[in-house]
Structure 1
């Protein structure tokens, strides 16, 4: 169901779950691997998993999955809340040689059914009651109680004898069509994350890592779980109310040494929380990715907390690959340098695959030999021709590299919106709104709420007999789209701006949104 980007000459044995868990489970079996905090006021965590206990739960769950008759490559869709069960089921799927599909619990039935249908998932683990039409989309349905039982009672097996190129997980992300596209990663994806260890985190086995995001995002799965466990560190999960004022208290309570989130969260913490260098005594530094940071964020965070904030640029197809870190000082106006071992170049937007000289703007490209690069797009072979340029992969980010190797991000070469840290395809939102009975035409763009916050907005042309009803359109969208994809503002136009060829002129929409 996918066309490999390239065929490597060597495909050694490798299992991502074994790489992350087996070493620490053998060397430090009683060390906390995962701590779950549900209530900041509680004296003790809700859950504490040692490395030995975590590995046991993963391998028992893997055994239960294989006992269901699943074969290598079968997809397991995970639509659970952000709990330990989500993390364990994800790694159990990899351990069993199956393909995990991490999804958001915020998805509507319509969105979830698309993922089930497109992926051909054999299993759906979900806490949400499914729509009747989902029958048959996934032959096996697991409830949270089923997963908990599998973790305790499943027949423990060994890690599957997978290889580096064996498919491991499938991430759906906003694409260039009306529906999300699947990005298929191999078991070797964990090896592709090693440049981040010192190129971004400066991580060691002594670290305790708290991530503020949800597990359906590669940023959270990687920074919050995969990399701490691969380094024998402790991963921390908070499952309670996400009040920005609480995070400093949580960091102190959990004795977190590294804290990760999106720029908008750091802005909210600075606005609503009581901060001082003494407020988070264990924190060494913070990690940020997912969207462009607002002006002054780095300086404000440093001034208020006494700790540095390190940024990274990434994409679903490879995760983060350009960053600052303890060994890479920040250079204002840039996102950092290629992480050690990465081959990154700037290519012409139109033309050949000859890297441009320092200072020239073009497409940021990663060499296809990078072990973190995806296997390919699921069911989208035609899209792969657009991202390959000789031996380089181009994900659509524009930038320039200076003589010192620092890269300035210059935006996107496509129409993907970045709203509240999420990548959202305007065409996906437009396809839903276009089914509203009063809407004749619709186009979406980012709306700036403030200089540092953008949300999804919609420009609507109504049918002749219809009257403007922003609230009704917003409610219509809320029933059919995940909350982070829903427009937050509706503006009515007599007609959409278009190019001479009849295409929607999105640059004009962006200008309108800023007015």
Structure 2
């Protein structure tokens, strides 16, 4: 096939990708050998070198194996960005286990589904989140739980002050004596490292990353060692000459969550493979990001548009010393042009929009760092990735016409965990169908024009309307509900719920909001509630979400005009 995008690659970006056929844990093992004394992780004042990080991962692997974890067993990690996440992730892989990333914002209902679906018998969880597990422990297959706290890897005296602060804020959890529970740090200290990490084949599953895929039903994308190693190298290659001199010297800001596949690949795995210092932030907040850039001379700042918008609008940002930033790739939502311009003026670095999806590990497209960036474009396919636009009969459409974006490359998932039917719908004739409607111009730049799926992306998080609707339907006063994404200058999109109350029932926004907050992670909770007497439906009674969304946008335009 023709690849017009190759003519627009930056200097130093290869046409194809060379990546080693190795287990994912080898990225850390090799860097630990090459840069043993370099700082790997910086966490709120404490530092850990690459040698120590790798030794800790091997010890955790030893602890898992000693407790009966076998190759292929699923190990769930429910942690924010902290040293324990990296140790548990690479330790699980070294033991031959399959990592299952779990969002720490999940409610008990969401956690129950993921642990059960994955069949995870091991869980590593933040101590403050223990009550969420305790609520559903009888309904999930978990046999052992490692608890750990932010304070466990903080320097003195922060390690003593953090629990006091948590108690003051009434967030502290007194952990019970429990037959399944053990302390992560104590277990690690007592464990013996494994003699030899598990020699996983490239096509063995390394990670189950949960996504709504094309239907809204949460399912695990099976990402292999090859998928994740290849996408790490693809992401590194995209920097071209801009980053070639930074190996072993760069500083990666680990602000976007590692439990999200984007943060895991472009911040954690990339940072480790390149021998960078990774500055860990447990929450992606603007002020700590700015402070980290100033203190550590951050060179790489992957993020989402909301983070860059907050950065640009931070009071006094013009006076802050943020000029070390060189490379920023924005993902998860469309990046406004004005945001890019202002960010680059403030930092002198490059901020470009990329595109990806969980099923592709996730990065597939990006705008050039130094070459032409086209407004509204997701950029060019990255090295080793083929992309084309297909009609409903899976035939390629002419340049400029709209169809479904399809992808092929070493980073494309093996399929969905225990869902062969869903896999066969997503992967056709060796091409991954993204569910996104797109077009390609004559230069090979791609543009997303619409979504086939109804997924909402708010603040970089994927939200599936069906899930929110099911929670709304569980309220005894709700007769009908429809959830759509509406444009939002800050979050990209915001969740809007349209509700028809049951006859004779009076509902309030406050009542529905509390119900949703009790059953959904905060980012999924609707920001807008509107009550209607009826919802637009098709001839067969299906609620027409798109029609509802368009009607609301028209109403907004009338009010604004």
TM over 0.5: yes
Q: What are the ranges of 5 or more consecutive residues in structure 1 without an aligned counterpart?
A: 1-11, 38-44
Structure with bigger helix share is 2
CA contact (8 A) 2:230 2:411 kept: yes
Q: Secondary structure at the match of 2:93?
A: helix
Q: Secondary structure at the match of 1:101?
A: strand
Q: Secondary structure at the match of 1:33?
A: strand
Q: For 1:74 and 1:333, how far apart are their aligned partners in 2?
A: 42
CA contact (8 A) 1:198 1:327 kept: no
Match of 2:40 in 1: 33
Q: TM-score, length-normalised on structure 1?
A: 0.91
Instruction: Tell me, yes or no, if structure 1 residue 134 matches structure 2 residue 137.
Output: yes
Q: For 1:278 and 1:374, how far apart are their aligned partners in 2?
A: 42
CA contact (8 A) 1:192 1:371 kept: yes
Match of 1:395 in 2: 434
Q: For 2:511 and 2:352, how far apart are their aligned partners in 1?
A: 42
Superposed displacement of residue 398, structure 1: 1.6
Instruction: Tell me, yes or no, if structure 1 residue 503 matches structure 2 residue 529.
Output: no
CA contact (8 A) 1:199 1:327 kept: no
Match of 1:447 in 2: 486
CA contact (8 A) 1:344 1:364 kept: yes
Match of 1:342 in 2: 385
Superposed displacement of residue 174, structure 1: 2.4
Match of 2:304 in 1: 262
Q: For 1:419 and 1:159, how far apart are their aligned partners in 2?
A: 39
Q: CA RMSD in A?
A: 2.0
Q: For 1:263 and 1:58, how far apart are their aligned partners in 2?
A: 33
Match of 2:23 in 1: 15
Task: Please identify runs of 4+ aligned residues in structure 1 that moved more than 6 A.
Answer: none
Match of 1:156 in 2: 193
Superposed displacement of residue 246, structure 1: 4.1
Superposed displacement of residue 485, structure 1: 1.1
CA contact (8 A) 1:200 1:324 kept: no
CA contact (8 A) 1:176 1:427 kept: no
Q: For 1:413 and 1:122, how far apart are their aligned partners in 2?
A: 35
Q: For 2:537 and 2:436, how far apart are their aligned partners in 1?
A: 24
Q: How many equivalent residue pairs? A: 490
The alpha-carbon distance between structure 1 residues 77 and 171, as it changes in their structure 2 partners (threshold 3 A), is: same
Q: For 2:378 and 2:210, how far apart are their aligned partners in 1?
A: 25
Q: Secondary structure at the match of 1:279?
A: coil
CA contact (8 A) 2:294 2:320 kept: no
Superposed displacement of residue 496, structure 1: 1.0
The alpha-carbon distance between structure 1 residues 186 and 328, as it changes in their structure 2 partners (threshold 3 A), is: farther
The alpha-carbon distance between structure 1 residues 442 and 278, as it changes in their structure 2 partners (threshold 3 A), is: closer
Instruction: Tell me, yes or no, if structure 1 residue 361 matches structure 2 residue 414.
Output: no
Q: Secondary structure at the match of 1:131?
A: helix
**Over residues 394-428 of structure 1, what are the superposed CA-to-partner deviations in whole Å (9 max), with x where a residue is unaligned?**
11122111111111121211111111211111001
Match of 2:347 in 1: 305
Match of 1:473 in 2: 512
Instruction: Tell me, yes or no, if structure 1 residue 67 matches structure 2 residue 66.
Output: yes
What is the aligned counterpart of 2:269 among 211, 221, 226?
226
CA contact (8 A) 2:439 2:446 kept: yes
Superposed displacement of residue 198, structure 1: 2.5
CA contact (8 A) 2:257 2:284 kept: no
Match of 2:250 in 1: 207
Q: For 1:232 and 1:106, how far apart are their aligned partners in 2?
A: 30
Superposed displacement of residue 457, structure 1: 1.3
Superposition map of 1:46-65 within 5 A: 47-65=46-64
Q: For 1:82 and 1:488, how far apart are their aligned partners in 2?
A: 26
The 10-residue stretch of structure 1 (406-415 or 246-255) with the greater mean CA deviation from structure 2: 246-255
